[in-house]
Amino acid sequence: MVASANPRRDADAGRLTLSAGAARADGTDSPNGLVVNLSSVTAGYRRRVALENVSLSVPAGAMLALIGPNGSGKSTLLKLLLGLLSPWSGTVSVLGETPRASRVRVGYVPQAAAGDWNFPATVGEVVMMGRYGRLGLFRRPTRADREAVSRALERVGMAERIGDQVGELSGGQQQRTFVARALVQEPRILLLDEPLSGVDAVTEQDVYALLRQLRDTGVTVLFTTHNLSTVAQHFDMALFLNRRLIAVGPPHEVFNEHNLRAAYGPSMALVKIGDRYFAVDTGDHHAESGSPHG
């Protein structure tokens, strides 16, 4: 595990970097142990800018929460890293390669409500989809692939449901299945887009525990969330985003009124209870803020 990670701001156009305090023997292919690099990236859809001039470097083994309101660019950032979206300007590298070239080594867990699973597909079949990047289009799954599926389902507590229809599962069980589908890829980077929205408390705690285990083996985790109360408890680093990158660093350093209002607007206040943070709407929607908005 990375011994320490501290944010620093470079002179080149406000680049924000998470710098590892100790080297990790994880076989990373990218220089300096950095597995994600964005340089002056602007991206969007048609004529709408979703991310503007974002520069970011993330080391192997970071567990990073991406924080911001709807439309702030969190999902766009994940699409860039998956190679599903190309930047309008700037460069993106993942594991020292282009996002498309590294795609087989990047796992993805969608939002809990994503997808229509009314068509007949078993839990085992859905998880096996995670092996297709390794198998190719025309190879049949081998015994090793089937064993990998079983191991992944065991890790998420779904081994006994391998033959059940996904459409018959609860929301929490479906999300465990999607996590297993990502795990079976044996990813070096795991991207999760609001994966715990609407799931039960047991599933939430189990997923966080699994992510920490993966982090401890060198897997880099990027996790979008609206739930500020869980960030300090479960994540090493937090990134505030609202089209532009506002701040990144350990939660105790970046959770403050300035960054919260820059991300969510002048009506939001931050309340800390113990090690948890809560965003509160103060109703002051006419106040001015000097913080950047997307």
pLDDT confidence bin for 30, thresholds 50/70/90: low
Do residues 158 and 124 make contact, with C-beta atoms less than 8 angstroms apart?
no
Pairing of strands 63-67, 220-225: parallel
Token pair belonging to 63: 């567990």
145 by DSSP, 3-state: which?
Answer: helix
Choice between 114 and 63, residue whose per-residue pLDDT is larger: 63
pLDDT on residue 288: 31
Q: What is the mean pLDDT of residues 6-19?
A: 44
Q: What is the mean pLDDT of residues 103-121?
A: 79
pLDDT on residue 189: 97
Q: In degrees, to the nearest 5, what angle opens at C-alpha 285 toward C-alphas 282 and 286?
A: 130
Farthest-apart Cα atoms in the chain, separation? 62
Task: Outline where the chain has alpha helix (H).
Answer: 74-82, 123-128, 132-135, 143-155, 171-183, 201-216, 231-234, 251-254, 257-264
Q: What is the mean pLDDT of residues 95-108?
A: 94
Residue for token digits 């590294």? 102
Cα(61)–Cα(237) distance, integer angstroms: 11
Q: Is the pLDDT of residue 222 over 90?
A: yes
Q: What is the mean pLDDT of residues 24-34?
A: 56
pLDDT confidence bin for 285, thresholds 50/70/90: very low
| Average pLDDT, rounded, for the chain | 82
Q: What is the mean pLDDT of residues 220-238?
A: 91
Quote the percentage of the chain above a pLDDT of 90: 54
pLDDT confidence bin for 286, thresholds 50/70/90: very low
Edge-first strand order for the sheet with 5-9 is 5-9, 16-20, 48-59, 34-45, 89-94
Q: Is the pLDDT of residue 114 over 80?
A: no
Pairing of strands 189-193, 220-225: parallel
pLDDT on residue 50: 96
Residue 81's Cβ-side half-sphere holds a number of Cα atoms within 13 Å equal to 30
Q: Is the pLDDT of residue 32 over 50?
A: yes
Question: Tell me, what amino acid is at 279?
Answer: A
Q: Is the pLDDT of residue 10 over 80?
A: no
Cα(230)–Cα(208) distance, integer angstroms: 10
Distance of CA 172 to the CA centre of its chain: 18
pLDDT on residue 27: 44
Write phi, then psi, for 258 (nearest 5 degrees): -60, -50
β partners of residue 175: none
Write phi, then psi, for 106 (nearest 5 degrees): -120, 120
pTM of the model: 0.82
Q: What is the pLDDT of residues 47-63, one digit of tens each?
A: 899 999 999 999 999 99
Domains detected in the chain: 5-281 (3.40.50.300)
Cα(173)–Cα(191) distance, integer angstroms: 19
7 by DSSP, 3-state: which?
Answer: strand
DSSP 139: P
Q: Is the pLDDT of residue 44 over 80?
A: yes
Token pair belonging to 270: 């931050």
DSSP 114: -
Q: Give every CB contact of residue 165 below 8 A, 6+ residues apart in sequence.
A: 120, 121, 122, 123
pLDDT on residue 274: 74
Name which of 24-38, 43-57, 90-104 the model is least confident about: 24-38
